Amino acid sequence: MSIDAVLSRISEIRSQIDTLQGRSTASTAAGPATSSPSSAAFADALATATGTGASSATAATAAAAGAGPSASATPATSVDAGRGTIATGSGATGDDVVAAAKKYLGVPYVFGGETRAGMDCSGLVQTVFKDLGVTMPRVVPDQADMGVAVPSLAQAQPGDLIIPKGEGHIVIYLGDGKVLHAPRPGKDVRIVDNWYSEGDIATIRRIVPSAQEAAATAATKVASTVGAAGATSTTDLQTAALKSLLAAGSAA
């Protein structure tokens, strides 16, 4: 390939890059997920200009974009519940709290208990979160300080903890007006209708993300990762194409 041919191809590629960058800028308002199609379009155009074949370039771009979500860090297996923060290290959600709590239905109430042989209300809460890899304090007044406050009963989500005034009891909210708790001696762990009104409640605490919050966070991370992967692959393709053309020109 002659030097003139190389320069001509470089000019064509730059023109295509400018066009595609203009499209990418126009689509930015649509969100990070639009970056990947722009990268694929650039790969096809670049492959056509260099004669390398559209399918292989498109496959390389898709592979780079697809690697994004699977490369995310694995969450920690345990975490201490904190004051004013939601514990995310275990990967557990409010729905997981509900599922874990239901495993203890029928366990008898035993003051100070923390096992299937018997447990009290705060022992049940501590054990449920321990099963999910989240460390919680043992007694209700301390548990009432963990996580973040939920403003009202109407905003409570499955897995939240409801603590009445006086902090003498604690229940796990299941959603749909139901709670799960260890009531008192002579009773066992059970599901009942929530009997607490707003005026009865000292605080509602969210220890781990609700299922909706976790899903929204995951979607944002995936979109951001895919967008970054798409931008990186576009830059790599530009560099590789120009190097290839210059090498071909030198060989000629």
**Which residues are designated catalytic?**
121, 169, 181
39: enclosing H helix or E strand:
helix 35-50
Q: Which two tokens stand for residue 74?
A: 């694995």
E strands within the chain?
Answer: 79-80, 114-115, 118-119, 134-135, 148-149, 161-164, 171-175, 178-181, 190-193, 201-206
Report CA 215 to chain centroid distance, whole Å. Answer: 6
Report CA 241 to chain centroid distance, whole Å. Answer: 36
Give yes or no for a contact between 61 and 237, defined as CB atoms under 8 angstroms apart: yes
